[in-house]
Amino acid sequence: MSPRYFLLCLLVLAVLGSGIGVVYARQQHRQAYVQLTRLQKQRDELNIEFSRLQLEQATWAETNRIEQVASERLGMVFPQAAELIVVKP
């Protein structure tokens, strides 16, 4: 086997290996991009859900809502002025 033939075979193998490497890298890039897109969509959905939950929490924490629940479910009422006792130190 002559050195030129050996060098030619080596270069052909190097080109084939490089081509396979490029195809593999592009496939990895595609998979990573698909995963990135999926994760971004999931992030956006979670942000929307979080906003909804914050709004719901703000609604449930309103003062008039708390007063309504305290009076209806627990039977609580505001004390009359005569029922108040002020404790001084």
CA distances to 68, 70, 83 from 75, in Å: 10, 6, 17
**Cα–Cα distance, 80 to 8 (Å, whole number):** 103
pLDDT at residue 69, as a whole number: 85
Tokens representing residue 55 in the block: 């709004």
Q: Are 75 and 81 in contact (CB under 8 A)?
A: no
Residues 70-88 have pLDDT tens digits of: 888 888 888 888 888 889 8
Query: Taking phi first (over 0 means left), then psi (-120 to 50 degrees means alpha), and beta for anything else, what does residue 75 get?
Result: left
* Confidence class for position 7, pLDDT limits 50, 70, 90: very high
71 Cβ contact list (under 8 Å, min separation 6): 77
